[in-house]
Amino acid sequence: MMHDLLLTSVHKHISLLPQEEAHFISLLAFRKIKRKQFLLQEGEVNRYASFVIDGCLRSYSIDKNGFEHVLQFAPPGWWIGDMQSFLTQTPGTLHIDAVDDSEIIQLSKNDLDQLYAVVPMFERFFRILAEKSLATYQHRLINNLSLSARERYNNFCQLYPSLIQCLPQKQVAAYIGVTPEFLSKMLNQHPNKD
């Protein structure tokens, strides 16, 4: 069923009564996003948490020279949003769009806040998600400070083997923090060097 992936993820961390689960499901909205369509643009308020069930989205910022820097790719099973904007409900700095035709499930900030009051177990669920995500970003930051471009690329391949196949090279470059030209040169001059 449509919510299976999300419910599986929820049940991995918390147990719910049938009516709690039903209430949760009643708050969810299904939505399709076509390739290259925006889910969010810089300056907008991120009013929904979005869970990807098919396709792939990405969040990124555009710097003052017009270059894109990818914060996150979200294949099925991942949440995506502009955290800062979502938490404070103020205009954000990130763009989010679909790199493939995608299907997502959305939960509004208002509904989420009410969900916390009605089913406090969700506090735990999102605490655990946030903590794991936090540890991941800390690790990525350390990697960016200490590894070479080649090492960051190998890392990415190892961490997201499914993404490497479906993403254009320039997106990978914008994630690991090099120009597309340099990534191309690197891959063709020292192929598969590990």
Partner DNA sequence: AAGTTTTCTTAATCTACATTATTGGTTACC
Partner DNA sequence: GGTAACCAATAATGTAGATTAAGAAAACTT
* x/- letters, 18..57, toward DNA (CB under 7 A): ----------------------------------------
Task: Find out whether 79 and 132 touch, Cβ atoms under 8 Å.
Answer: no
Kindly state whether residue 179 participates in binding DNA, applying the rule CB under 7 A: yes
**Which listed residue (13, 150, 154, 157) binds DNA by CB under 7 A?**
150
Applying CB under 7 A, what is the total number of residues that bind DNA? 18
Give yes or no for residue 113 binding its own copies (CB under 8 A): no
Measured distance CA(99)–CA(37) in Å, rounded: 8
For residues 87 and 9, the answer to whether their CB atoms sit within 8 Å is: no
Q: Which is nearer to DNA, 30 or 38 (CB)?
A: 38
Place of tokens 């196949």: 165
Specify the residue for token string 């890392």: 155
Determine the Cα–Cα distance for residues 84 and 90; give it in Å rounded to an integer. Answer: 8
- Amino acid symbol at 170: K
Footprint on this chain of its own copies (rule: CB under 8 A): 61, 63, 67, 69, 71, 83-84, 87, 93, 116, 120, 123-124, 126-127, 130-135, 137-142, 144-147, 177
